[in-house]
Amino acid sequence: MKLLSLKGDGIGPEIVTATEQVLIAADKLFGLSLSFQTEVVGFDALAADGSTIPDRVITAARDADGIILGPVSHNDYPPLAEGGLNPSGTLRKKLDLYANIRPAITRDGITPPCGKSFDLVVVRENTEGFYADRNMESGPGEFMPDPDMALSLRKVTRLASRRIAQAAFDLAAMRSARHVTAVHKANVLRLSDGLFLEETRAVASQFPDVRYDEVLVDAMAAHLVRDASRYDTIVTTNMYGDILSDLASELSGSLGLAASLNAGTSNAMAQAQHGSAPDIAGQGKANPASLILSAGMLLDWGGRQLGRRELCRAAQAIEKALAEALQIPSARTPDLGGTGGTKKFTEAVMAALKST
What is the three-state SS of the chain? CEEEEECCCCCHHHHHHHHHHHHHHHHHHHCCCCEEEEECCCHHHHHHHCCCCCHHHHHHHHHCCEEEECCCCHHHCCCHHHCCCCHHHHHHHHCCCCEEEEEEECCCCCCCCCCCCCEEEEEEECCCECCCCCCCCCCCCEEEEECCEEEECCECCHHHHHHHHHHHHHHHCCCCCCEEEEEECCCCCCCHHHHHHHHHHHHHCCCCCCEEEEEEHHHHHHHHHHHHHHCCEEEECHHHHHHHHHHHHHHHCCHHHCCCEEECCCCEEEECCCCCCHHHCCCCCCCCHHHHHHHHHHHHHHHHHHCCHHHHHHHHHHHHHHHHHHCCCCCCCHHHCCCCCHHHHHHHHHHHHHCC
With beta carbons less than 8 A apart as the criterion, state whether 132 and 74 touch.
Answer: no
Q: Which residues are catalytic?
A: 131, 185, 218, 242, 246
Rg (CA), the chain: 20
With beta carbons less than 8 A apart as the criterion, state whether 211 and 179 touch.
Answer: yes
